[in-house]
Chains A and B, each alone.
Chain A
Amino acid sequence: MSKGFSILVDTSKCTACRGCQIACKQWNGLPATQTKNWGNYQNPQDLSAVTWKLVRMADGTNGHGKVYWNFFSDQCRHCLSPGCMAVSENGEIKQDEKTGAVLFTPKTKDLDYQATLEGCPYNIPRQDPKTKRLFKCTMCFDRITNNEIPACVKSCPTGALVFGERDKIVEIAKNRAAELKKTYPTAAALNADDVRVIYVVKDDPTKYYEFAAGK
């Protein structure tokens, strides 16, 4: 399956306004959790059954003593061959033919959570501790099947998030990475041929997030 839709996450244009993180919660009716400041702007600290989109914020200094602050609007990659589905034998996880969205059904409560998580290179699936059901981004399945773009993309002010037909998005992502490479030799479109949510980065992916480019 290579048609369907894709999302470009161009981190070089992201200012971490976190509109996408909030828009995801708003559209999907997900509650806020009680958080504390843990010495970082990033909050909540991690994805959860009620946080499917999280802007990870990593600061540090590179070799020349120059400071960086990298923003990574993390979410399910909607892989072309989803690792999480390896454990799904009874339709608990579905891959929509038309859009390519990978969907966790209510039946995911019956899955082995650890095995599902281990199958995901990007550390995405999260379990509701009470119902045992697994949750993650749906690519706004209810929106994209009704001619609307995903809520996160809609909220993005800078053009860092772009939604469209997969072929076009892959092309934009690769071109953008090539353009950035002129200034940033480490720039890349991460796993563009394997995932639907394609991250363009300027720097070493691990300087954004441990699992940015996969385990």
Chain B
Amino acid sequence: MTNHWIDLKNSDCLLIMGSNAAENHPISMKWVMRAKENGGKIISVDPRFTRTSAVADFYAPLRSGTDIAFLGGMINYIIEKNKYFNDYVVNYTNASYIVGDKFDFNDGLFSGYDPKTRKYDASKWAFKLNDKGVPEADPTLKNPSCVFQLLKKHYSRYPVEKVSEITGTPVADLNKVYEMFSSTGVKDKAGSVLYALGWTHHTFGTQNIRASAIIQLLLGNIGIAGGGINALRGQPNVQGSTDGCLLFHLIPGYLKVPRTSQQSLDSYVKGNTPTTGEPQSANWWQNYPKYTVSLLKSFYGDKCSKENDYGYAWLPKCDDGATYSWFDMCDVMYQGKIKGMFVFSQNPAGSHPNTNKVVKALSNLDWLVHTNIFNNETASFWHGPGLDPKKIKTEVFLLPAACSVEKEGSLSNSGRLAQWRYKAVDAPGDAISDGDMVARLVLKLKELYQKEGGKCPEPILNLQWDYVDEKGRYDSHKVAKGVNGYFLKDVTVKDPSGKDVEFKKGDLVPAFGFLQADGSTSCGNWLYCASYTKAGNMMARRGKEDPTGLGLYSNWAWCWPVNRRIIYNRASCDPAGVPWNPKRALLKWEGDKWVGDVPDGPWPPMSDKKKGKLPFIMKPDGRAFLYGPGLVDGPFPEQYEPVESPLKKNPMSKQMNNPAIKFFKSDMDKIASADPRFPFVCSTNGLAEHWCSGAFTRWQPWLLEAQPELFVEISPQLAKEIGVKNGDRVKVASVRGEVECVAMVTPRIRPFKITGKVVHQVAMPYAFGWLIPKSDRNNSTNLLTPAVGDANTMCPEYKGFMVNVTKV
């Protein structure tokens, strides 16, 4: 989230799209309802009329996988009807920048595409720079090569009638949503976007979110109270694990994973540290070397120094351009090239796509270690439906884990708020926390490498591992302090105001502004620097003061970065530092300092031509990206069909699918698009009563009573066509697998009219599996889903694939 949960109450209009917040994030509705009580409007856009739609002021349906068409239409509407916030757009976004003449877009493809490698050469999309290395700009926004004009041209291809043909949303509904949401493009209104897996679970998921970023920037809704782009994250600490390094292309603090072409620390930091000629840009990532060296110091302590490149050689390197997602791992496992695997707190045999392939891949392992609080379909895969346990060689170890209330530590929520929590009870039996498991595992590995040697022992032997107490037990406070970081020698450094401050060896670093690239500081994650300081564990704070009334609660726990509750907050003021909306002022420049929330940097606002800085400090040139040349699949979002689509042709262009996605070639990776055998669009969804794949909640009788078994929601029209009545048993099949379930016939699902033809959509929860409850009435919906992922993140396309539904 750019903003935070409580801030939803400050919004004048909430666009809930790609999210069924009421179902999957029930508590969010507390704040959504507060907004509604204050006169705010709720818009729900979803293929189904959901529990969220039930309390929305306006609902609009759309076919799964057509969000970019829907949002592209809104961008066109905002520009054509002059609804954008001109001062914000001109000053704070790259609207005025001139794009170089190598940029082009033709029939669905941007310039620089190589069909052999399925990759773009993004250098073709670069800005035209002046002799100082700053993009040339036209603040009048008239130059035909400026971002604003290119944006206008690109989305002029998305008139509302065309959008309706693709999405199936009635034209009147589109216009209503566009009118409601674009009404926030003025100084004193705030519009918020709430999204979740409904946007990320596509082969163009990242571009769905980019499209919303363009809208929010055009409307001036980023950096303000009640605005922002708010990812409602699906698990209590998934934000924390992403900040850590959950994803294969990142190391802690969103630093890039080292690549094989970057053999020295110097080449790594040079390759990742942006430069700018823009004098008013803070270019915050210029601190990349400080964060990298401090991270290496936290990994390797005294064992690393300038002389040995701070141990950079010990970090594993990924091949350039290669992906290492679950799909890749599963594919390699399927080929029999992986021997063993640790799976923590995941249920891949239930929640990952193309489950038949997952199970085959797991069967190829020699050993599988799984930690969880309950048994699940992954730990038990070897005796699943249709498998003969005698023929499965994989040895499975299920380690009992402590659950959330049985351990102490931090938890970071969607609003970047890290809150300390305490242990309430001891874990039962032999169960221990996963932190304890990792701590013991590392100590054992160190012992074995010490004793037996082995290939490349240095990364393990040199690892600083002082995270256990005197009895060898995992100590979450030691980890939290290590993540915050220490001074490693006595130093005198300048604080942000230029004053000298002395620190002793062993002092906790007060904030990331003090981190150094010379080995004098350590920090396990620069974003969390300031979370555990001399003043104590900031995450354990419980202050309830709310002086602004905006719900910032700055003394409650702690959030990154440096406890700033709404990021890019300097954009909530005009270039002179005066709040756009004084009634919801986050910050104000008082001639010599900012007053209010923690500002996005101490510098004066940009009207101070000498010392002032632009508000989007994480962008090299200080301005937010309407035009985004940083992604692998194009600088503007473009509508492509899901990999499995009901259509033979993409109505927008010759290019059917996202050109930059990766396909897997195994015999189990089948795709059936526009195939008469599988005529209906299907999308998967969560349930309020179950936790993700249900691995925890299906053991809970009350929750199972409320939501007992797998079902498919279908429209009355489709039910009539296929001769199915409400409550009948049906078979749902894709080219990859099939499941039986109950048909729920409901007007909440409706047929769409797409390019003149009727297209039926169905929907299934993914919360069920064969293991529990014990019956033959449940299996995993993911037997149906395709293992294809987003071009930038490899996030699976669970939302939009093709099935057939027949009566059993």
Contacts and interface: CB of A to CB of B under 8 A. Distances in A.
Interface of A: 12-19, 21-22, 25-26, 31-41, 43-44, 59-61, 67-71, 157-159
B22 A17 contact: yes
B706 A158 contact: no
A33 B703 CA distance: 11
Interface string B50-64: 011111000100000
B688 A39 contact: no
A68 B59 CA distance: 10
B49 A32 contact: no
B666 to A, nearest CB: 34
B747 A21 contact: no
B742 interface: yes
Given A12-B55, A17-B51, 13 more contacts: A16-B51, A31-B701, A33-B705, A35-B704, A37-B708, A37-B709, A37-B710, A37-B711, A37-B742, A43-B705, A43-B706, A44-B705, A69-B51
A43 B52 CA distance: 19
A153 B238 CA distance: 29
Given A39-B744, A69-B54, A17 B701 contact: no
Contacts of A12: 55
Interface in B41-88: 49, 51-55, 59
A35 B745 CA distance: 18
Contacts of A31: 701
Nearest to B50: A69
A203 to B, nearest CB: 11
Given A39-B745, A59-B748, A157 B704 contact: no
B26 A19 contact: yes
Contacts of B53: 67, 69
Contacts of B22: 15-17
Contacts of A36: 708-709, 742
B688 to A, nearest CB: 5
Interface stretch (B27-35, B481-489, B569-577): B27-35
B688 A59 contact: no
A18 B727 contact: no
Interface in B725-748: 726-727, 742-748
Contacts, number: 105
B33 A159 contact: yes
A39 B743 contact: yes
B664 interface: no
17 contacts: A15-B55, A16-B51, A17-B22, A17-B23, A17-B26, A33-B705, A34-B705, A34-B708, A35-B704, A36-B742, A37-B744, A43-B706, A67-B748, A67-B750, A71-B54, A157-B26, A158-B26
Contacts of B55: 12-15
Interface in B699-719: 701-711
Contacts of A18: 688-689, 706
B709 A157 contact: no
Interface of B: 22-23, 26-27, 29-30, 33, 49, 51-55, 59, 688-689, 701-711, 726-727, 742-748, 750
| 4 closest cross-chain pairs (CB), A and B | A32-B701, A15-B22, A39-B726, A39-B727
A8 B757 CA distance: 47
Given A59-B746, A69-B51, A15 B708 contact: no
Nearest to A179: B37
Given A13-B55, A15-B54, A35-B705, A40 B744 contact: yes
A95 B644 CA distance: 62
Contacts of B33: 13, 158-159
Main SS at interface, chain B: mixed
B628 to A, nearest CB: 35
A43 B30 contact: no
Contact of B705 (A26, A32, A68): A32
Contact of A60 (B29, B707, B708, B747): B747
Nearest to B773: A34
A43 B26 contact: no
B448 to A, nearest CB: 47
A43 to B, nearest CB: 5
B25 to A, nearest CB: 10
Nearest to B707: A43
Nearest to B728: A39
A214 to B, nearest CB: 24
A60 B748 CA distance: 8
Given A15-B26, A15-B51, A39-B726, A22 B706 contact: yes
A69 to B, nearest CB: 4
A70 B746 CA distance: 13
A96 to B, nearest CB: 28
Contacts of A26: 702
Nearest to B711: A37
A26 B703 CA distance: 11
A158 B55 CA distance: 11
B27 A157 contact: yes
Nearest to A10: B33
B701 A67 contact: no
Of B33, B688, B742, which is in contact with the most chain A CB atoms at under 10 Å from its CB? B33
Contacts of B726: 39-40
Contacts of B52: 15
Contacts of A69: 49, 51, 53-54, 748
B30 A158 contact: yes
Contacts of B701: 31-32
Contacts of B688: 16-18
A41 B688 CA distance: 11
A186 to B, nearest CB: 16
B32 to A, nearest CB: 8
Contact of A39 (B689, B705, B708, B742): B742
Contacts of A37: 707-711, 727, 742, 744
Contacts of B702: 22, 25-26, 32
A16 B496 CA distance: 50
Nearest to A13: B33
Contacts of B709: 36-37
Given A36-B709, A39-B727, A159 B744 contact: no
Nearest to B744: A39
Contact of B708 (A43, A68, A70): A43
